[in-house]
Chains A and B, each alone.
Chain A
Amino acid sequence: MRWETDPILKVEHLTMRFGGLVAVNDLTFSAGRGEITALIGPNGAGKTTVFNCITGFYKPTEGRMALIHPRLDIDAEIEAATVSGEAFVSRPSVFLLERLPDYRVSAEAKVARTFQNIRLFSGMTVLENLLVAQHNSLMHASGFSILGILGAKSYTDFEHGAIDRAKYWLEKTGLIDRADDPAGDLPYGAQRRLEIGRAMCTRPVLLCLDEPAAGLNPRESLELNALLNSIRDDEGTSVLLIEHDMSVVMEISDHVVVLDYGTKISDGAPSFVKSDPRVIAAYLGVEDEDVEAAEAEVDAVEAEVGP
């Protein structure tokens, strides 16, 4: 399994308590590199809390979340070392997310996210939203604004590059015609796509999407599937997503993790999860005896097949 052999994110024993409420309880899972991992579960299962911990929104009560950066192109790295004049190049490859402040999770560990309730900068234009996402590299290139004010050529060239990248994502999300409109004026589905485009402009290695299909009509939902597949296949970005729409989940994800009451109840390929009696019980709701019966059955099956 990819998520076991080559994970991009390893979450271990993650626990998040709010006072007496345990929102996430000893959760351990991995997300595979170059895969779409879906985090599903009934309402209140703690999915969004997991996202908030990963992206630095919350400091988890306990646990470790390691993000493992991909190996770069080896030849390019040898070349970079040669050019730098040093004997070696060092590049951090593992980030413990629980120790990073929120802006460094995005700037250095390269994790981007979107929200269930859209959080665009609605007063700024669509293009500006995408440029804010490239703030750090632009700020660096503008010599902390000094070269930018003087209009230095090195900076204007760099800015063109940033605008090109923004345009690339506008094309992909079908928003190129609306580039100069205020983001708040876009229709709902377009705002959702823009949020994904903006997250991708930060050049993430892991993209976390919180219910990207919520409120979309079936056609928009299909377009979203295509966009996510393209992000995985063409950009090589791994995706972690929370979704309620089972057609989206079963269609595009490579790996599904199921939460209920903050605890993981199932983890595996979509086909496996779909038929897991514990998942069915959690989703459809069954009498307590039935749960016990189902659990006994699962234990029996596990004893037979091996875990």
Chain B
Amino acid sequence: MEVFVQQLINGITLGSIYGLIAIGYTMVFGIIGMVNFAHGDVFMLSAFVALITFLVITTFLAAIGVITGSVWIVIALLICLIVSMVVTSLWNWAIERMAYRPLRGSFRLAPLISAIGMSIFLSNFVQVAQGPRNKPTPPMLTDVLTVMKSANYDVNISYKQIAIWLITAVLLAAFWYVVQKTPLGRAQRACEQDRKMAALLGVDVDKTISLTFVMGAALAAVAGTMYLLYYGVVSFSDGFTPGVKAFTAAVLGGIGSLPGAVIGGLLIGLIETFWSAYFTIDYKDVAAFSILVVVLIFMPQGILGKPEVEKV
């Protein structure tokens, strides 16, 4: 029982990170019907931006002689989060502008190939600019709360995990509000259904697509900062596996559906942690992808996806 609860806590944490990345995939797919393969690398890039910001802030604090207590750590992390969201958004905006928009209206595979190119470019750029080795951060927010105790097993939630849950929940709520209630979100949903018609009603479709990329990148940056906080280390190749898993999560939840992306992310996170805890850690990815295969055989449109309806 204790092991189960502990793994549940770990799985939800990992799943929130996947969910945040998956939203970027699902939104872009929804609006332009393209799988943005560079999204995982945008996530990796955001972790680096957060890392660099963190190092700058701590160096600055040390230079002015402030003792780095936990209050300062929290403030520093919040600044990292915001800087990472802004910088990554600018990156993704530029990527869309340069690599995808010129290819819009071209044949369907062109932007896909361009995205794969962008993905390779980003990981190589970070490898050259930051070096190929793992970049560590000092351990932060390592204190834990013990929620259940038994003779030989304590169930712990670390402050890190609480922070990840809270930030994910708050940002998802804000994001949901933007998509459902603001004119921008309405325009995004309209473009998703019929881009041409939206343009004929005066919606600037190119701008709406750009903003979709910006929003996806901002959420990926949250995931990147959380990833850095959780694992304390990042390397140039860290975009690939979480990227593929988040894409899987988006497909599992039903691509194009926002709640689906979050549910898919949580499921993948939970499957992975439970499999590692009860079976063998080497096969955790096999387990996650096998579940994907099984779900797609029986529900080809994913858990919350809409079935394709023949237009009359």
A residues within 8 Å of B by Cβ? 55-57, 101-107, 112-113, 115, 119, 121-124, 128, 131-133, 135-136, 138-139, 142, 144-145, 148-149, 198-199, 202
Q: Are B198 and A132 in contact (CB under 8 A)?
A: yes
Q: Bound complex: CA of A139 vs CA of B204, how far in Å? A: 11
Q: Is the CB of A132 within 8 A of B190?
A: yes
Say yes or no: is B186 at the interface (Cβ < 8 Å to chain A): yes
Residues of A within 8 A of B198 (CB): 121, 132
**For the complex, what is the distance from the CA of A266 to the CA of B295, rounded to whole Å?**
62
| Least distance between B219 CB and chain A CB atoms (Å) | 15
Using an 8 Å CB-CB cutoff, how does the interface string of B179-211 with A read, 1 for contact, 0 for none? 001111011011001101111111111000000
CB pair A133 B202 closer than 8 Å: yes
Cβ A131 vs Cβ B186 within 8 A = yes
Question: Which residue on B lies nearest to A195, using beta carbons?
Answer: B197
Cβ B174 vs Cβ A103 within 8 A = no
The residues of A that contact B204 with a CB separation of less than 8 Å are: 103, 107
Q: Which of B178, B181, B183, B201 contacts A139 (CB 8 A)?
A: B183
| Known pairs A103-B203, A121-B190; A145 contacts B196 (CB<8 A) | no
Tell me which of A119, A121, A135 contacts B183 (CB under 8 A): A135
Whether the pair A124, B193 counts as a contact (CB closer than 8 A) is yes
A55 cross-chain contacts in B, Cβ below 8 A: 200
Residues of B within 8 A of A105 (CB): 200
- Is B72 in contact with chain A by the CB < 8 A criterion? no
Closest chain A residue to B204 by CB distance? Answer: A103
- B160: shortest Cβ distance to chain A, in Å? 28
Which residue, of B184, B197, B201, B306, has the highest number of chain A Cβ atoms within 10 A? B201
Q: Is the CB of B199 within 8 A of A102?
A: yes
CA distance A136 to B177 in the complex (A): 19
The one of A113, A124, A148 that contacts B200, using a Cβ cutoff of 8 Å: A113
Complex CA–CA separation, A131 to B183 (angstroms): 8
Q: What is the predominant secondary structure among interface residues of chain B facing chain A?
A: helix
Task: Choose from B182, B184, B194 the contact partner of A119 (Cβ within 8 Å).
Answer: B194
Which one, B178, B181, B186, contacts A135 given CB within 8 A? Answer: B186
Separation of A75 and B289 alpha carbons in the complex (Å): 69
Q: What is the size, in residues, of chain B's interface with A at 8 Å between Cβ atoms?
A: 24
Cα-based distance from A26 to B202 in the complex (angstroms)? 29
Is the pair B190, A202 in contact by a Cβ cutoff of 8 Å? Answer: no
Partner of B205, one of A103, A123, A139, A142: A103
Given the known inter-chain contacts A119-B194, A123-B193, A142-B182, please indicate yes or no for A135 contacting B200, CB distance below 8 A.
Answer: no
**A148 in contact with B183 given A123-B193, A124-B189, A124-B193 (CB within 8 Å):** yes
A40 CA to B56 CA, complexed, in Å: 70
Instruction: Give which listed residue, B174, B177, B201, contacts A132 with CB less than 8 A.
Output: B201
Q: A119-B194, A121-B194, A132-B190 are in contact. Are A106 and B182 (CB under 8 A)?
A: no
* A23 to B40 alpha-carbon distance, docked (Å): 47
Whether A149 touches B197, Cβ cut-off 8 Å, given contacts A128-B186, A131-B183, A139-B183, is: no
Report chain B residues within 8 Å CB of A107. 202, 204
Q: How far is the CB of B108 from chain A (nearest CB, A)?
A: 21
Q: Would you call B182 and A121 a contact (CB within 8 A)?
A: no
Contact of B202 among A124, A135, A149 (CB under 8 A): A135
CB of B256, distance to nearest CB on chain A (Å)? 11
- Complex Cα gap A55–B197 (Å): 11
Residues in B whose Cβ lies below 8 Å from that of A119? 194, 196-197
* Chain B residues positioned under 8 Å from A198 (CB to CB): 201
Give me 14 other A-B pairs in contact (C-beta within 8 A), A119-B197, A132-B190 excluded: A56-B199, A102-B196, A106-B202, A119-B196, A121-B194, A121-B198, A123-B193, A123-B306, A128-B189, A135-B183, A138-B183, A142-B183, A149-B174, A202-B202
- Which residues of chain A come closer than 8 Å to B199, judged between CB atoms? 56, 101-103, 106
Assess the B193–A135 pair: CB atoms within 8 A: no
Taken together as a complex, chains A and B put the C-alpha atoms of A115 and B199 apart, in Å, by 14
Contact check, B182 vs A132: say whether CB atoms are below 8 A apart: no
- CB atoms of A106 and B183 under 8 A apart: no
Contacts of A148 in B (CB 8 A): 181-184
Quick one: which of B178, B183, B193, B306 has the most chain A CB within 10 A? B183
**Provided the pairs A57-B196, A121-B189 are in contact, do residues A135 and B182 lie with their beta carbons within 8 angstroms?**
no
The reply to whether A149 and B183 form a contact with Cβ atoms under 8 Å apart is no
A–B Cβ pairs within 8 angstroms, 16 of them: A56-B199, A102-B196, A103-B203, A106-B202, A107-B202, A112-B200, A112-B201, A123-B189, A124-B193, A131-B183, A132-B198, A135-B190, A135-B202, A145-B182, A149-B177, A149-B182
